[in-house]
Amino acid sequence: MAPSLSAQIAELLAETEPFDILSDEERQSLLQKMTLELYAPGEVILQQGDDIHRALYVVTEGLVRLEEAESGRTINMAGAGAHFGAYGLLQGGALPYEARAVEQTSCALIAAESFQRLVKENDTFKAYFEADIKRYVRTLDEDIDASGAFLLFDTTLGGVLRAEPPTVEVGATVREAAQVMAGTDADAVVLVQDGTPVGLVTEGDLVERVLAAGGDPGSPAMDLVERPPIALRTDERLYDAMRTMMRERIRRIVVVDGESGALRGLLTAEDVSHFRGLDPVATTERLERAQSVEELAALRADSNRRLYRLYHQGVHSEDLLDLVTEIDDQLKRRVLSTVERDLREELGDEAYDGPWAWIAFGAAGRRESVLKAWQDNGLVYADPEPQSADRAAAYYEKLATRVVKALRQCGYGDPENGIDASHAAFRQPVSQWTAAFDAWASGADAGATARGALCFDLRALYGDAELVDPLRAAIRAHLPNQRLSAILARDGARTDLPLSTFGRVEVEEIDGRTGLDLRARVIQPVVRMGRALALDAGYLDSTNTFDRLRQVAKSEHPLRAQAKALVPPFTTLVDLHLREQMQAAERGERPTDLIDPDSMHKSQQNLLKETLKSVQSAQSAVRKHYGL
């Protein structure tokens, strides 16, 4: 292998997951026995049924389709930097798919012995490929839109930019910016300083803030810039752009060079839609335009049906959970702003003015919203002057009661534990909330702490977010607190998992259906143990279960190995849970927490059993550590 080609492959590996986690020495060891092979369009690279597995294939150029030869079902599309062949190397036996070159393709072959040596020596490298295989098993009965997945996750922003964006220098006037737009038939212009983007002006800015407002066309264009432009690098994915547009509620993203920060392009929501054939960003825009709770309720049902398309395009469980939460957040914020607007219009001068925030607890507080969602929420407001206390309490009672009713109308179930802002205990001024968290976090009253456990999963969803800071501070003041962690871990560690002595998944009949209540019987125990371990490790930066488990795994906590071992099972559980709910929504049925193990592929049943055993192992370690 020529040195220049070897250097190119070494650079590709250094930038490609999971090879980027390896040391230079480990990557060099892979290159020593690596070979390069070329394939013509349509050529079969790996035959389905082969039981001799000689290498891991890394695509250096071109495109490879993985499919079931008999059914023609596409499993994946592998572009430059992607790999295939790990299934045979790790599982052995007959290869369950065929690999065929779609176009002129070259692959670097990492020798089986080199790959297997690294799997034995590097736990992180091994975990990546094990998770990859489990992801394949979970989708055995799904017709995955692999072409969509390829576009979404393997297409970089640098690869979708179609033209140089229109620009003006930072000192340009509004008139000059408008002239550039007119001359390039564009609806936006990027303001640059020494080649670096510093602002973005749109056609809407010119119409609303200059023409309609009688502004001066000779004024600086920078006066129309309210914040620095949202920018992503050329090497980030199309998925990253879609996700950023949804979160920031924008339709344009500046794309910059990953090293120099220089402007490379301007990506629009229309570009994303063009390359993917779908436009989930439009969901958030429709939410913004909705003027009534009835409209929002209809939009939620529609968005639930559309989400299953993203699952078909290979969005990973954790990313999909984050997307569901983002849409859920934006819908709730729109409900809150709509209800608040209507109430203030109704009350007029009688409306109370003061800082307040809506708090999300439980799954929403952890950014783990699913389609069957509960109302776990609260309202916190700034302590009023004594003479205004009754007026403030009355106003926030009206507001909270109407919001809870509106959320119910949108399909959010009443809270299982009675934690919602329509109840006075969860609608308090900040001083009383702080006192409550101080009492819960002390662990002095075990029963009260256990009942308030969901409240440790909190974040401000709407309003003045800083009002939640004293609540977190009250928790932090009591950490570390092993008594608190033991109380919070008790239910999760003691829950009997639905796995019989003989290794059979146990089911039950609920509302006329037979199945496994995945949320109550398995997911919740993991969530509760993750919450307890994170607080025991003093981690409060995030309440998300994935974040909690990973942070504990990186800490010096005695159960860090168990926390790390829980991440793959939790990923599997989230995937099963979301998939079942999305399938129900697409069929027009009410999402449920039940799954039917008997309807699963045999490999999926085995994966579920393995998952339950992993959770059981963690439960045993947690019980022993906390003396439960």
CATH number at residue 389: 3.30.460.10
- Angle of helix 560-586 versus helix 545-554 axis, rounded to 10: 160
What pLDDT score does 77 carry? 74
What pLDDT score does 600 carry? 80
**How far apart (Å, rounded) are the C-alpha atoms in residues 383 and 442?**
23
Same domain? For 229 and 350 the reply is no
463: phi > 0 → left, psi -120 to 50 → alpha, else beta; which? Answer: left
Same domain? For 520 and 428 the reply is no
**How far apart (Å, rounded) are the C-alpha atoms in residues 234 and 324?**
26
Same domain? For 208 and 298 the reply is no
Q: Give me the half-sphere count of Cα atoms (radius 13 Å) on the Cβ side of residue 307.
A: 32
Give the chain's domain count.
4
Same domain? For 420 and 313 the reply is yes
Same domain? For 312 and 351 the reply is yes
Same domain? For 509 and 557 the reply is yes
Q: Range of 456's domain?
A: 282-474
537 lies in a domain? yes
pTM (two decimals): 0.69
**What tokens appear for 357 in the block?**
């925030």
Same domain? For 165 and 122 the reply is no
Domain-ending residue, one of 457, 474, 491:
474
Domain-ending residue, one of 423, 446, 474:
474
- 23 burial (CB, 10 Å; 0-12 / 13-18 / 19+) is exposed
Closest CA to 411 of 297, 292, 295, 287: 297
CATH number at residue 222: 3.10.580.10
Burial state string for 439-453 with b = 16 or more CB within 10 A and e = fewer than 16: bbbbbeeeeebeebb
DSSP sequence for 136-167:
HHHTTTS---HHHHHHHHH-BGGGT--SPPPE
**How far apart (Å, rounded) are the C-alpha atoms in residues 608 and 80?**
33
**What tokens appear for 480 in the block?**
């570390």
What pLDDT score does 306 carry? 63
**How far apart (Å, rounded) are the C-alpha atoms in residues 525 and 542?**
19
What pLDDT score does 151 carry? 53
Report mean pLDDT in 10-residue bins for the chain, 628 residues.
66 83 86 87 89 89 81 72 87 85 88 89 87 70 50 68 83 92 87 91 88 88 90 85 80 88 85 56 70 82 68 71 87 94 93 96 93 92 96 96 94 87 96 97 95 95 96 96 95 92 83 88 96 96 96 96 93 89 78 87 80 94 95
Same domain? For 226 and 256 the reply is yes
143 lies in a domain? no
DSSP sequence for 313-379:
TT--HHHHHHHHHHHHHHHHHHHHHHHHHHHHHHHGGGS----EEEEE-HHHHTT---SS-B--EEE
CATH number at residue 115: 2.60.120.10
What pLDDT score does 163 carry? 67
Same domain? For 431 and 355 the reply is yes
Helix (H) or strand (E) holding 64: strand 64-67
**How far apart (Å, rounded) are the C-alpha atoms in residues 618 and 399?**
43
